[in-house]
Amino acid sequence: MAEKLLMRALAGETLKTPPAWMMRQAGRYLPEYKATRAQAGDFLSLCYNPELAAEVTLQPIRRFGFDAAILFADILLIPQALGADLWFVTGEGPRLSTITDQAGFDALKPADTVHDHLSPVYETIKILSRELPGDVALIGFAGAPWTVATYMIAGRGTPDQGPAHALKDGNRPVFEALLNRITEATIEYLSAQINAGAEVVKLFDSWAGSLNGDDFQKYALEPTKQIIAALKARHPDTPIIAFPRGAGEKYIGFGPATGADCVALDQFTDADWAAKHVQKDGCVQGNLAPGHMVTGGQDLVDEVRRIKAAFSGGPHIFNLGHGITPDANPDNVALMLETLRA
């Protein structure tokens, strides 16, 4: 464990060269991923096939030598485990049955029943624990409750999370009951991931930025705090990364307020500002714009150097500000790492 750079950064160590991995590093920009997904048949079949899910998790490690592997799964497996219908439309993304009233909520399963449905995910983690190189850390993850709820309420991704805001404002008891159910299920899910061998877990709150004022505190920060407290009670030595994407100035103090060991920053957060206001509280992760993985060139080199320098005074994990996109060039990923480690 002491040799794993990611774990050292999460423990608060300032490293000359920060550890690096990428959100969605196992994915559609890699030809080997496309081949494995075709072998699985479809996206969900790939998520629930432990051998193939482990294979696509390992592919970017073999190709690039990242310092961490992140479990291949999807944040919407939790809604499916709770009883929601889930399917993916090619070229458009996920679709779910919707929860918009008390009857819809009442049809959901209890949080502590999710494990049978999610057992293939735990098996994937066990395979990875055996097969990953000894210096590569294994990251488990889940979606944060607000973000997962936005999909469960709308039945799909939306540009402004409008349906979730409408339920929040129009039927607060059902909205809060749904958030609580997701929170409870997420605690169970991440705890089981840790038991299976995940060394770090991350909470993705991809739509936290659409919560304003007290709503951010109540529905982004507080559920994250609750999940982290429960996980720390069961697994006190497991580091936790929180990613409230779009938080802006609300990134300040988010780590101490939630108990997160590291706060991941989106690409819209200035690195020098974050070094002053966020990194002072501990490890930060980020935050290269994913577009550089498409365009490459000297702009990519310059930006990698700038971010590395900005965060050189404290613990830092190098990453993108959001997930790598399908049109990214793998050669640019290699250039990113070469520049970072030069």
The residues near 255 (Cβ < 8 Å, ≥ 6 apart) are 242, 261, 262, 263, 278, 281, 282
Tokens of 220: 């982004």
Q: How far apart are CA 196 and CA 335, in angstroms?
A: 34
Active site residue 172: no
* CB-based burial label for 286 (10 Å; 0-12, 13-18, 19+): buried
Residue 322 host element (H or E): none
Nearest 5°: the CA angle 231, 135, 319 is: 70
| Residue (of 308, 283, 215) closest to 16 by Cα position | 308
Terminus-to-terminus CA distance in the chain, angstroms?
24
Q: Selecting from 3.30.930.10, 3.20.20.210, 3.60.20.10, 3.60.15.10, what CATH number does the domain 5-341 have?
A: 3.20.20.210
The whole-model pTM stands at 0.98
Catalytic, out of 8, 67, 74, 205: 74
Each residue's pLDDT expressed in tens, for the chain with a length of 342 residues: 458 999 999 999 999 999 999 999 999 999 999 999 999 999 999 999 999 999 999 999 999 999 999 999 999 999 999 999 999 998 889 999 999 999 999 999 999 999 999 999 999 999 999 999 999 999 999 999 999 999 999 999 999 999 999 999 999 999 999 999 999 999 999 999 999 999 999 999 999 999 999 999 999 999 999 999 999 999 999 999 999 999 999 999 999 999 999 999 999 999 999 999 999 999 999 999 999 999 999 999 999 999 999 999 999 999 999 999 999 999 999 999 999 999
Q: How far apart are CA 243 and CA 206, in angstroms?
A: 7
Active site residue 24: yes
Catalytic, out of 37, 63, 95, 156: 37
Catalytic, out of 29, 33, 48, 151: 151
By DSSP bridging, strand 137-143 and strand 316-320 are unpaired
Catalytic, out of 24, 29, 189, 245: 24
| Residue (of 220, 204, 207) closest to 285 by Cα position | 204
Active site residue 245: no
Quote the pLDDT of residue 2.
Answer: 52
Classify residue 296 as left (phi > 0), alpha (psi -120 to 50) or beta: left
Active site residue 305: no
Active site residue 151: yes
